[in-house]
């Protein structure tokens, strides 16, 4: 039996996005009976309790309330708990897979203990976290150092984007790397135009199918909301711009309003969050075009969802995005007039189904969860067999 410990997500069942969705899909789509997963689960109440979830051994970790440092305590305590379990049950060559490199500066002694029991330590750096504008400079400096420290202790760095893998290889040439992408759900929404949830949504926002552009994503500056909104306002389209994000209570919202004056343009509509998966998929499917402004990270889940469900995708031209979308989309830059001119050029045309089919074919070839899970299972099993003790 190959034991695989996954640390760094909030755990199962998944209630969030990103790493939590990855862990959920890894578990639900697993094929090999030779792998036993052990998943750390963040808890505010219990510590060290085990429970079964879809045949997976989940264990709770309740780290102290240390503000931002709680994440590092969580990872360290989870690794310690799993190490104790591995010794007690005498696991053979377990894999410890850490998602995110926040704990990087403190990982060396833990990595030694993993190696002492014959285990392997893998890390997924999760894009370039140190570049995110939400972090003050001291935190950015720490995260950059943590990234480097992790590469010195990990047996393997797993990137979810070829551009991230190239960055790691060039920045830390001593590192062994591989690339396994993120996945996405390709199934269509079961909702139809006549469903009440659909009609209520469009009535509330005074819009209709194919009569809007769409933005979906975390409400942070590095996703270039300011540029996208300014450019949309400068365009001549009569369609709406529906923005689905967690803007409520976010100080960035007022800064953005002052910078763009979007409240003076009736086409700009902040929807808030949409938690109904089927409704969100239908909204994606019926968007005339999706605007993607992310420029920090690897394989962004929102971009995969757009390629899987929206025919026309207008994407910020950075290497991370091109590695994912390739020739299936249209690209814009942050240069003034780039996105506005692109919108003006395409807005009069109605049928982008051919482009959408190309995007969907790329998703089916490279980014289904079935493919991603198969690659991870092969990695977990073969790395165990191929590495000397």
- The one-digit pLDDT tens for each residue of the chain (389 residues) are 999 999 999 999 987 678 999 999 999 999 999 999 999 999 999 899 999 999 999 999 999 988 878 999 999 999 999 999 999 999 999 999 999 988 988 999 999 999 999 999 999 987 677 677 777 788 888 888 989 999 999 999 999 999 899 999 999 999 999 999 999 999 999 999 999 999 999 999 999 999 999 999 989 998 999 999 999 999 999 999 999 999 998 999 999 999 999 999 999 999 999 999 999 999 999 999 999 999 887 788 999 999 999 999 999 999 999 999 999 999 999 999 999 999 999 998 778 999 999 999 999 999 999 999 999 999 999 865 565 54
Strands 268-272 and 313-316, sheet pairing:
unpaired
Q: Which two tokens stand for residue 146?
A: 């943590």
In this prediction the pTM is 0.90
- What are 82-123's pLDDT values in tens digits? 999 999 999 999 999 999 988 988 999 999 999 999 999 999
In 3D space, the residue among 150, 186, 180 whose CA is nearest the CA of residue 165 turns out to be: 180
Give 343's Cβ-side CA count (13 Å radius).
26
The CATH code belonging to domain 2-183+368-386 is 3.40.50.2000
Helices (H), 154-224: 162-171, 196-204
Question: What is the structure's pLDDT at 384?
Answer: 54
CATH 3.40.50.2000 domain span(s) along the chain: 2-183+368-386, 196-366
Strands 156-159 and 177-179, sheet pairing:
parallel
Are 136 and 158 in contact by the 8 Å Cβ rule? The answer is no
Does the 196-366 domain belong in CATH 1.20.1250.20?
no
- What are 24-62's pLDDT values in tens digits? 999 999 999 999 999 999 999 989 999 999 999 999 999
Give the neighbor-by-neighbor strand order of the sheet with 212-216: 268-272, 240-244, 212-216, 289-292, 313-316, 330-332
In 3D space, the residue among 243, 285, 238, 293 whose CA is nearest the CA of residue 263 turns out to be: 243
Report the Cα 185 to chain-centroid distance in Å.
13
């Amino acid at each position: 039996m190959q034991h695989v410990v996954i640390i760094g997500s909030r755990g199962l069942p998944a209630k969030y996005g990103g790493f939590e969705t990855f862990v959920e899909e890894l578990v639900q789509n697993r094929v090999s009976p030779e792998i036993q997963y052990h998943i750390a689960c963040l808890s505010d109440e219990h510590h060290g309790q085990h429970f079964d979830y879809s045949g997976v051994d989940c264990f709770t970790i309740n780290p102290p309330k240390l503000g931002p440092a709680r994440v590092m305590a969580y990872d360290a305590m989870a690794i310690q708990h799993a190490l104790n379990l591995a010794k007690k049950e005498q696991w053979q060559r377990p894999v410890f897979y850490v998602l995110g490199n926040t704990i990087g500066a403190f990982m060396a002694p833990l990595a030694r203990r993993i190696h002492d029991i014959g285990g392997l330590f893998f890390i997924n750096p999760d894009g370039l976290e140190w570049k995110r504008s939400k972090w003050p400079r001291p935190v950015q400096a720490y995260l950059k150092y943590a990234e480097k420290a992790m590469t010195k202790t990990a047996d393997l760095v797993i990137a979810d984007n070829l551009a991230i893998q190239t960055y790691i290889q060039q920045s830390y040439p001593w590192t062994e790397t591989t690339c396994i992408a993120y996945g996405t759900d390709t199934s269509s929404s079961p909702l139809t135009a006549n469903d009440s949830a659909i009609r209520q949504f469009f009535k509330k926002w005074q819009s209709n199918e194919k009569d809007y552009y769409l933005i979906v994503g975390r409400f942070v500056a590095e996703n270039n909301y300011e540029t996208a909104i300014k450019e949309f306002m400068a365009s001549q389209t009569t369609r709406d711009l529906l923005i689905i994000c967690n803007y409520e209570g976010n100080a960035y919202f007022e800064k953005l309003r002052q910078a763009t004056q979007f409240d003076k343009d009736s086409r700009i509509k902040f929807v808030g969050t949409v938690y109904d998966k089927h409704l969100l998929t239908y909204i994606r499917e019926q968007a005339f075009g999706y605007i993607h402004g992310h420029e920090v990270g690897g394989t962004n889940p929102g971009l995969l969802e757009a390629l899987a469900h929206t025919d026309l995708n207008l994407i910020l031209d950075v290497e991370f995005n091109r590695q994912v979308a390739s020739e299936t989309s249209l690209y814009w830059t942050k240069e003034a007039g780039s996105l506005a001119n692109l919108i003006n050029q395409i807005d009069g045309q109605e049928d982008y189904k051919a482009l959408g089919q190309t995007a969907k074919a790329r998703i089916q070839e490279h980014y289904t969860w079935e493919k991603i899970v198969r690659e991870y299972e092969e990695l977990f099993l073969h790395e165990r067999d191929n590495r000397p003790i």
